[in-house]
Amino acid sequence: MSWAEVQTRSELYRGQTVRNVTNISRRRYRQGAGKNRRPGTDRIMQHDKILDESDGIKVKVDSAALSNQRQAPTDFSNIYSKDLLPASGGEEVTKEFLQELLNVLLGYICKTNQRSTKVLDYHHPHQLKEGLEGFTLQLTDQPETLEQILVDCRDTLKYGVNSGHPRFFNQLSSGLDLIGLAGEWLTSTANCNMFTYEVSPVFILMEEVLLKKMQDIVGWSKDEGDGLFCPGGSISNLYSILVARYHFYPEVKTRGMRALPRLALFTSEHSHYSIKKSAAVLGFGSENVIVVKCDERGKMIPVELESSIIAAEEKDLVPFYVNATAGTTVYGAFDPLDAIADICHRHDLWMHVDAAWGGGLLMSDRHRMKLKGIERAWSVTWNPHKMMGVPLQCSVILIKKRGLLQECNELGAEYLFQRDKPYDVSYDTGDKSIQCGRHVDVFKFWLMWKAKGSQGFGSQVNKCLENAEYLYDELQRRAGFELVFEHKPEHSNVCFWYIPPSLRVLPPGPERDAKLHHVAPRIKHRMMEKGSTLVGYQPFGDKVNFFRCVFSNPATQQEDVDFLLNEICQLGENL
């Protein structure tokens, strides 16, 4: 159908005062609730419906407002994507389509922030694949109407997981920062690519500003510091090893690993698996990653590091790289950075700090001393998409020695990085990267910094850590909970077991452990089915499955901590 025809149909509406009320699918993306719900979900569905209806009123008012200009709201059931811009005359329909989308997204955003909304509406893979209430994932040759597209948008959100919900404790990244969201919407509207200043002048300069800011906060001098925004912390850690290798053995770039001695990397048993994975990818081999022991709080033991280095040398390995973790994934532990820096200095090793999770604490005057010594690192990973609440993806690799990143990775493709441009081509940073095209991850972060100031990030971090302390206190106060380690949390991770009444009579030991191992998965299973909250669990070393609760969402309050603990008790008391 051409746009001219759409307008003709639109004319038809102008004489109508009431739209066809039997057009149910037309309103699905506004009103949400359908029929044929799964048994057992009625209560929540009912709630959904109420919320949706109240949203619906708001939407109707907005639509009525639009209709002052167009007489009747657009009927998207006859309009297709080809009628949107750049189609000739597509401006109005584009505005109305994005307005309707905004209404759907606003409805979701408001609901996500309501505690009475479910965190998730769980379905098994086969259920979603078979299609639920007309929501089908399958793709066809023929186009669907914009109405169906809006319905699909609504359904996609409905069957997803609300990682922005105040009671989502499952992952290190959570929350939904509205300024960050605005930044992402603008980023995708600009649809730019980070390779050159020529096509992304503003974003390239924002990257420079943010990298300098972060280097300054880490504590490097004005003459030091380089970096890049990367697609996630694992890739940032990969860069640290890549650049370290090039620093000691620049011939690797042309001649490969076979020209080098057998190199060894060191990282703690509590560190992130991306160190080992990157070592495999880069051709070191995972067996050349030496795992260093930690103390009971998950911190690397410096003497263990030094003896591991010496032992490796005795086996004819050549140590060159140490990863220290500032905020481990499970315990939230901070390795003793100064002591590790001393060892690296003595043995002339590259010191990397993986502060993907802990870096955010640098923003807080109260907590930044936990990363003391980070200024001595040669490279740092820091993920603003974790503790600082920036929407995914937003990760940074910082390299102390300027120029190394460029030398290590540049190949100088002339179709992209011409030298005869009319500006200073040192701003064409794309050849520092192992990517070619690179998504703009900086803008949302820049905008959040503008909106909060450094201070705002600091307060946000403090609040998350207060929640962790509150949980720690509550776990000690309440019956039926045991801490995995007996120390006030350093970061916002709190690790604990729930001991159901039936196990409380057993003494600690292998028999109780065998049973306890199944408790967290069973509670989690029930939690997912109920959808009321979400928290992670895992075994670690010789410790059976325990819960790990993490706080990075500023929406979370103490009442949510109480809710989580009550929920665990209720779901687990008969186990």
Judged by beta carbon, residue 250 or residue 403, the one nearer a second copy is: 250
Binding of residue 559 to a second copy (CB under 8 A) = no
Select from 1, 50, 137, 311 the one that contacts a second copy (CB under 8 A).
137
Token pair recorded at residue 58? 């708001």
x/- mask, a second copy, residues 319-348, rule CB under 8 A, reads ----------xx------------------
DSSP state of 47: H
Select from 50, 178, 369, 506 the one that contacts a second copy (CB under 8 A).
178
- Rounded to an integer, what distance in angstroms lies between the CA atom of residue 377 and that of residue 333? 17
Is 413 in contact with 428 (CB distance < 8 Å)?
A: no
Token pair recorded at residue 521? 């998965």
Cis peptide before 86 (omega within 30 of 0): yes
Q: Helix or strand or coil: residue 114?
A: coil
- The alpha carbon dihedral of 141, 145, 151, 154 has a sign of positive
DSSP state of 231: S
- The alpha carbon dihedral of 176, 182, 188, 191 has a sign of negative
Among residues 272, 242, 223, the alpha carbon closest in space to that of 379 is found at 242
58-117 binders of a second copy (CB under 8 A): 58, 61-62, 65-66, 68-69, 80-82, 84-86, 90-91, 94-95, 97-99, 101-102, 104-106, 108-110, 113
The backbone torsions φ and ψ at residue 85, rounded to the nearest 5 degrees and listed phi first, read -55, 140
Q: Helix or strand or coil: residue 115?
A: coil
Q: How far is the CB of 254 from a second copy (least distance, A)?
A: 5
Q: For a second copy, which stretch binds (CB under 8 A), given 5-13, 18-26, 149-157, 318-326?
A: 149-157
408-447 binders of a second copy (CB under 8 A): 409, 411, 413-416, 418, 420-424, 427, 434-440, 443, 446-447
Q: How far is the CB of 346 from a second copy (least distance, A)?
A: 26
Q: How far is the CB of 240 from a second copy (least distance, A)?
A: 13
x/- mask, a second copy, residues 370-409, rule CB under 8 A, reads ---------------x-----xxx---------------x
Judged by beta carbon, residue 470 or residue 540, the one nearer a second copy is: 540
Question: For the residues of 102-155, what is the DSSP string, one character each?
Answer: HHHHHHHHHHHT-TTS-SB----HHHHHH-BTTB-----SSPPPHHHHHHHHHH
Binding of residue 291 to a second copy (CB under 8 A) = no
486-515 binders of a second copy (CB under 8 A): none
Among residues 116, 107, 94, the alpha carbon closest in space to that of 53 is found at 107
Select from 40, 134, 283, 403 the one that contacts a second copy (CB under 8 A).
283
Select from 72, 206, 337, 388 the one that contacts a second copy (CB under 8 A).
206
Select from 27, 253, 297, 463 the one that contacts a second copy (CB under 8 A).
253
Q: 301: Cβ–Cβ under 8 A, 6 or more apart, which residues? A: 292, 293, 294, 295
Select from 1, 12, 190, 514 the one that contacts a second copy (CB under 8 A).
190
**Cβ neighbour number for residue 91 with a 10 Å cutoff:** 11
Binding of residue 153 to a second copy (CB under 8 A) = yes
For residue 479, the one-letter residue type is A
**Cβ neighbour number for residue 435 with a 10 Å cutoff:** 16
218-237 binders of a second copy (CB under 8 A): 231-235
Q: For a second copy, which stretch binds (CB under 8 A), given 293-301, 306-314, 501-509, 535-543?
A: 535-543
